[in-house]
Each structure stands twice: as structure tokens, then as C-alpha cells.
Amino acid sequence: MSGAILILSGPSGAGKSTIIKEASTRIGEFYFSISSTSRAPREGEKEGREYHFVTKEVFERGIEAGEFLEYAMVHGNYYGTSLTPVHTALKAGKLVIFDIDVQGFHLAKERMGDLITSAFILPPSLGELDRRLTDRLTDSPEVISQRLKNAKREILEIGAYDFVIVNDEIGEAVEKFVSVANAARLKLGDSEGEEFVNAWLSS
């Protein structure tokens, strides 16, 4: 069997990165997809860690060549997911994990829907999200306000996802995530299903 794709969405502050880190030794070999962006690196950011940083011109050439699974323009900068490392990881049988927004999820689902398992991760309430964003002391009040507006808009799309993980207590959220990751590995894409049936019938 080839690999599988697990897409995670949810507001900033939901704890997606923490959950993945805590579960990393329990979900088998995986590749965490790092997005590309045309914006300049911020202080402390490293190439290949937060993002792959490219020029706007390079990004647009990639779009024209069909090299992106999904992409979007956000505040005047491109953000997207290159297909090249994704295909390499899938061929190696890895679980490919994406952390992308709702818009990116819908675009990815159009292109590789039969391979995708999806989960929406969120705190137990909007008030708790506000508290977490405020307590981490990394964003201005204006940025926090925008993140809350985005969260209220994106949660309306929650029905499009296969699973919902409410991150109230981190241990419970990690257990649910491990179950979802294992389920994603068991999912057969359309072509894989046909190959499996043909092999089974001819054996």
C-alpha cells in the first residue's frame, strides 16, 4: 500500500502542533508537509522549518506548472503546498500530515479527495480560544481579533471534515488524534481499492 493524507484544520491556538508532537512516536512514519510562501522570513524563522521561502515569481511559475496541491493569496502573499515532497512521501508509504486552512482543505479535496482523511481541531469554546491566544503573548490585540473572526467563519465548515477533535484536555486530544491517524492509514484510495480487489480475486 502507498501512503495516505491526513489534513488538519482549525484555528491558530487550537493546539495542532502540540498534539502532533505528543503523538509523533505512536503514529508510525510520517511526513509533516511544510508550506511554501512568497513572503519574507520573519525574525527567528528558518528556511525549511516554518516555511519554504520563495519569491513571488518562483511561486507563480509553480502555479502555472501545476506544482501545488493547494495555494491561496493571504494579505498579499502566496501560501501553498508543493506536490513534489508529498508524492515522494506517499510513494514511501508515509502518512502525510497537512496543517492547512479550510480554503486549502477544499482545494486539496478536489485534487486528491479519495486519499484524504480530515480532522478539524478546536478548543472547547470561542472564549477559551481567546484566552489561549491572549496568554501566549505572541500576537497583538488586532491580530487576535482577526484570528477569532477567522475561527468563527471556519467553524461553519466543520461538517465537511471526517472527524472533530475538541482539545480540552491534551491527553484525551492526543488519544483521539492517534486513532484518526491510524484510521487514515487504513483508508483505500480508488485506485488502491481496484488493485486490491483484482489481486484478491486472482489469488
- What local confidence, expressed as pLDDT, does residue 120 receive? 98
pLDDT tier at 36, thresholds 50, 70, 90: very high
pLDDT tier at 142, thresholds 50, 70, 90: very high
- What local confidence, expressed as pLDDT, does residue 103 receive? 86
CB 36 within 8 A of CB 82: yes
Burial grade of 149 (CB within 10 A; 0-12, 13-18, 19 or more): exposed
Report the pLDDT averaged over residues 175-196.
Answer: 83
Q: Which CATH number fits domain 4-202: 1.10.8.60, 3.40.50.2000, 3.40.50.300, 2.60.40.10?
A: 3.40.50.300
Instruction: Evaluate if residue 50 carries a pLDDT over 90.
Output: no
pLDDT tier at 192, thresholds 50, 70, 90: low
Report the pLDDT averaged over residues 161-186.
Answer: 96
pTM of the model: 0.82
CB 51 within 8 A of CB 37: yes
More confident residue, 201 or 186: 186
Instruction: Evaluate if residue 190 carries a pLDDT over 70.
Output: no
Q: Which helix (H) or strand (E) holds 34?
A: none
Instruction: Evaluate if residue 201 carries a pLDDT over 80.
Output: no
Strands across the sheet containing 52-53: 52-53, 36-37, 77-82, 68-74
Residue 34 makes CB contacts below 8 A (sequence gap 6+) with 48, 49, 50, 51, 52
Q: Please, how many CA atoms are within 13 Å of residue 144, restricted to the half-sphere of its CB?
A: 17
- What local confidence, expressed as pLDDT, does residue 24 receive? 95
Domain boundaries of the chain, sorted by first residue: 4-202
Q: Which helix (H) or strand (E) holds 77?
A: strand 77-82
- What local confidence, expressed as pLDDT, does residue 71 receive? 87
Instruction: Evaluate if residue 1 carries a pLDDT over 60.
Output: no
Q: How large a percentage of the chain has pLDDT more than 90?
A: 62
Distance (Å, whole) CA 195 – CA 113: 18
Distance (Å, whole) CA 120 – CA 99: 10
User: Of the ranges 4-8, 27-31, 111-115, which one carries the lowest mean pLDDT score?
Assistant: 111-115
Report the pLDDT averaged over residues 75-85.
Answer: 88
Neighbour-count burial for 94-115, b at 16+ CB within 10 Å, e otherwise = bbbbbbbbbbbbebbbeebeeb
